[in-house]
Structure 1
């Protein structure tokens, strides 16, 4: 609800008309509303995001009036993606993110005070982030922000479902966030094909990470590519069908993590509903179990293999609703990507050692909380505070002209393995990246990857003894510009003896 439409004269509030009084049409016994508080009123600070004492006092008074006027409002979300520039106006647009977090704190305090004066039981959502920027949230908490909120609002558009719980764990390193509820007040995708998968997978991981409420965006078509829940003529989309299935079988039930390893993702909701997906392996349905598709329809021919993209929904009150076969995968740079705690060099359970290298000097890739400085990811990532040119995430890597990104796999037991790897620099890469593969220091391959000609590696079988190493190095060419590279490295047990 736009502040400028409500208060056109200082201290006078007008709530007539559908844009302002629509909340009166909602039956508060059946509906509860989360309202995003908007600012920007030409009466104060030239319509810019308020920062002066006069403007903040006016915002506080306006918020008190709104919350007191509409009892259907259960929750107030303060701000929208405030860690970016799209939803601020005036001087705040030029501020660095961490500086803007302190400007946000003033608004959070004023709005929270006004809302609680309007009604004591109102729930306040703070943070207002696009993505999961640890530094932004930690900075707010360091300044006492937890006092002015009941939960944190996030929009995790840039986090894949498989990485969500790990990134949330990093955010919760801050003492004020350890037990703080989180609400996902926007998530969605522009992929019509994968929208249902995206909703169900994320719902599972949100639940495991302590998210208490999740809101798909948008409900109806908003002139964007993001897939809505229903079409203009009222038909449910793939996302809408999946939403209905989640609401029927999963919402409000106790969740349990049923992942057997780092390559499998799954949730048990209540006593009978299971969601599972992950690396390919045999899947066998139990005798007293039923598989449902994402729209909630029974599946007559259950899948025989676990899928990395499409979650399987099983309903059964049996102790063994399904069984999984042997996993051929032994290491995966995406599934096993994790964040070393504190200043540790390697995350527990990671199949690879990951580090940067300058000549013979090894540089650890430590956990960086996200948006800690300009031009870095807005989610937790791996890098080094003293070496700002390199970075690593679960999906992308960036070498510098003097520092390579290195992945090393060390065999614990003798085995034959199949190596599969993919490296694709971005379109703006000036001269691509150089990919090198070696075993125990002996070179096996060197190729240059470009956006048009990515490097695809498949080597099988590679015989390895205990303690043998495979090293994959990605180096910049003459220029680092545009070298952000999508990558994936996997190792499986070899199934053939031919090369």
Structure 2
């Protein structure tokens, strides 16, 4: 065992990111009984550290008596012996206090804070404490929920006052949110969270990684409204992948975007597949999976060079990032790319390939000290990968007079969307548009409007998908002329439609539902605007829900 611990320590020293770059760890479940041999897999992955938990109720069964044992916390001793950093999530519930509910009484809050301090004192490798997991869901239970957000702030304040004076090295983190839950955190910020924590934690499980930067930017704006920003952490990220092979390209995008957003530390979920999440692990049992190759490539080739930064190429649909002054990670909407001088390239699994000559959907790692030159492109807008980007606006017509009103961003308990406060079921996200029809009166019209660039021919390519039981009516109108009209029942793609709006006119995509009183009626869609027809088939939005199926969607 001593030899194994020494090997762990040696490998960890070789896998450090550049100073100040994002640290990349991995989630484990030693608290749930994983064998210690899984630490060998952490080493193989070259993870910076692990995220796990110690269950308060297993350690303090009798009030005031702590019993740290090999069974309930020995894995942390093992990590400390190896010099491995540990992020611990602590859940403020214990059957010995407040009937097992999330602590709400002063006595129980003090007891939880004392337990957190005992953990910090015992384990020198614990670098951060996360106070609750996915607390915008159902993690907070019992009477304290009636006094949210103040009751949660009281818990964090108790931990802060017990831990920080004695252990200033510990990073005290907010509880995590499932999704980038800006509206949820905004209420916590307003109640006084920010002065008490060293970081704010999110779990960005995203179908479309390209939507992450805008979500994190909104969260930072919410912090700024309340007096200042704190570092962001992503203590879980990944996706509920349909196949093992789908993980590396999607995950490489996420890692790149998290690093470019200045996230301080991120932890992949998870080290191993679990029965209920069969394609999220780096390993299946002890067998490596494709995601492991991606993870190792990031740790060995990218983060040692520094954090990623996006290179402005004048095109929101061309994603060109560079890690420090080292390798690039590139993908995008089909523009040609030429590399200057010698260049080496690897796919998302770190396998050597020829340097790309055209940007595609899958990201590619390229080491090209001489730089690059991009060719021209003909795709100028995409609702999926540049949602709510330049040229787009959103409106609704409703009521007896069908007066048009603008829609704007709405921050709520989960991922932000475009809609209107008090306007039920009229919502727009990157992949889904939702409408509804009241029992009486006119059916509202949700309008997705694009302002075409001047002096340029414009074509529209669209794919719509609605369930047969929730069919939607869609019209595409430009210059007062109906260019497309259809009842969407299943998946429908348009041909590439010339819009005839040269000179900077607008095109409206108008959604209505005929179903009366049926609640939210979602339609999945992807719309691309082209400067030249290319006869390629329309591209559709991917299916699936953010959060691996766990995040409520606005109306979907």
Q: Given the two structures, how large is their TM-score scaled by the length of structure 1? A: 0.88
Contact 1:420 1:459 (8 Å CA) reproduced: yes
Deviations 1:106-154 (A, max 9, x none): 2222222232255232111114211111121111111111122100111
Contact 1:65 1:118 (8 Å CA) reproduced: no
| Whole-Å separation in 2 of the counterparts to 1:469 and 1:22 | 61
Contact 2:479 2:507 (8 Å CA) reproduced: yes
| Whole-Å separation in 1 of the counterparts to 2:200 and 2:534 | 51
More displaced stretch, 438-447 vs 142-151 = 438-447
Aligned-residue offset at 1:454? 2.6
Change (3 A) 1:369 1:178: farther
Change (3 A) 1:53 1:143: same
Aligned to 1:109: 157
Aligned to 1:220: 272
| Whole-Å separation in 1 of the counterparts to 2:520 and 2:411 | 23
Aligned-residue offset at 1:431? 4.1
Contact 1:276 1:313 (8 Å CA) reproduced: yes
Change (3 A) 1:53 1:418: same
Are 2:189 and 1:141 aligned?
yes
Q: State which of 379, 383, 388 in structure 2 corresponds to 1:333.
A: 383
Contact 2:433 2:525 (8 Å CA) reproduced: yes
Are 2:446 and 1:405 aligned?
yes
Aligned-residue offset at 1:353? 2.6
Aligned to 2:87: 34
Are 2:377 and 1:312 aligned?
no
Q: State which of 250, 260, 267 in structure 1 corresponds to 2:302.
A: 250
Deviations 1:221-254 (A, max 9, x none): 2323242112312x33221111111111222514
Change (3 A) 1:43 1:446: same
Aligned to 1:49: 102
Pairs aligned (count): 468
Aligned to 1:449: 488
Aligned to 2:4: none
| Whole-Å separation in 2 of the counterparts to 1:26 and 1:470 | 58
Q: State which of 384, 392, 397 in structure 2 corresponds to 1:357.
A: 397
What SS does structure 2 have at the residue aligned with 1:111? Answer: helix
Change (3 A) 1:381 1:178: farther
Aligned to 2:214: 166
What SS does structure 1 have at the residue aligned with 2:185? Answer: helix
Change (3 A) 1:177 1:390: farther
Q: How does 1:15-30 map to 2 (within 5 A)?
A: 15-27=68-80, 30=83
Contact 1:204 1:266 (8 Å CA) reproduced: no
Unpaired runs of 5+ in structure 2? 1-53, 438-442, 536-556
Q: State which of 410, 424, 442 in structure 2 corresponds to 1:388.
A: 424
Are 2:507 and 1:470 aligned?
yes
| Whole-Å separation in 1 of the counterparts to 2:431 and 2:470 | 20
Q: State which of 531, 539, 543 in structure 2 corresponds to 1:493.
A: 531
Contact 1:460 1:494 (8 Å CA) reproduced: no
| Larger relative contact order (CA 8 Å, sep ≥ 6) | 2
Deviations 1:295-333 (A, max 9, x none): 22321x33332112x101101222x2x332211112222
Deviations 1:361-392 (A, max 9, x none): 11111111232xxxxxx112111124233111
Contact 1:39 1:49 (8 Å CA) reproduced: yes
Contact 2:458 2:501 (8 Å CA) reproduced: yes
Aligned to 1:88: 140
Aligned-residue offset at 1:84? 0.3
Contact 1:430 1:482 (8 Å CA) reproduced: no
| Whole-Å separation in 2 of the counterparts to 1:431 and 1:316 | 50
Change (3 A) 1:18 1:159: same
Taking only aligned residues, the RMSD between alpha carbons, in angstroms, comes to: 2.3
Unpaired runs of 5+ in structure 1? 339-348, 372-377
What SS does structure 2 have at the residue aligned with 1:251? Answer: helix
Aligned to 2:199: 151
| Whole-Å separation in 2 of the counterparts to 1:53 and 1:172 | 32
Aligned-residue offset at 1:67? 1.1
What SS does structure 2 have at the residue aligned with 1:477? Answer: coil
| Whole-Å separation in 2 of the counterparts to 1:274 and 1:9 | 55
